[in-house]
Amino acid sequence: MSNNLDLSPDGQLAFSLRSLHGLDYVGPAINGQHLVPGIFFSLDPEADNRVEVESRPGELMSFRLHADRPGRWLTLNMGVGSANFSASVIVGFACKLDSPATTTFRVCLRSGYEGGHRDVFFPKTVVAYPKTALHLDLLEIEAHPDINPQAEWREIVLFFQRDSAQINLRDFRLIVV
């Protein structure tokens, strides 16, 4: 990631999120097109889904998911680079969010290897509702053999319900200890 001197396991995502805090954008999210380096929405091309994004300087982002014909997936992918977890015990995330109507989604740690990737889902389901709330979830690395301490690349992936929703993502932090 250019201009990022933070080499810690959470450094690349922290840099991308800071970049997103400076973004001034209102418009559609194009499948696979990065809003800022490392952060993009992925929509099943066989579905009829749309995502409208609003990101103002000083804020993270709000987005509306429209699922006219639901597909197999609708995700927000956030790159973590090739974060090395060799010296780490846990990986997790904290997010602050709300939504006009209660909605839920799941989050996973995706680790990429030659020829594919492995997803390890965090145990809790994230619930967004009309009051801004904090969600925290952790994985013990040693307890999950699918989390190799070294991977070619990693992402945090938010898997949304395959229906319409609005989510205001106020803050997001990767935790690696």
> In this structure, what CATH number is given to the domain that contains residue 171?
2.60.120.260
Residue 3 covered by a domain: no
What pTM was estimated for this model as a whole? Answer: 0.92
In a domain, 37, yes or no: yes
Host domain of residue 31: 11-176
User: Looking at residue 4, what is its pLDDT?
Assistant: 46
Query: What's the average model confidence in pLDDT over 110-115?
Result: 93
* Phi, psi dihedrals of residue 176, rounded to the nearest 5°: -135, 115
Please, which pLDDT band fits residue 66 given cuts at 50, 70 and 90? very high
Determine the Cα–Cα distance for residues 39 and 32; give it in Å rounded to an integer. 9
Q: What is the rounded distance in angstroms from the CA atom of residue 93 to the CA atom of residue 10?
A: 10
Give domain status of residue 4, yes or no. no
pLDDT class of 134 with cuts at 50, 70, 90? very high
Q: How many structural domains comprise the chain?
A: 1
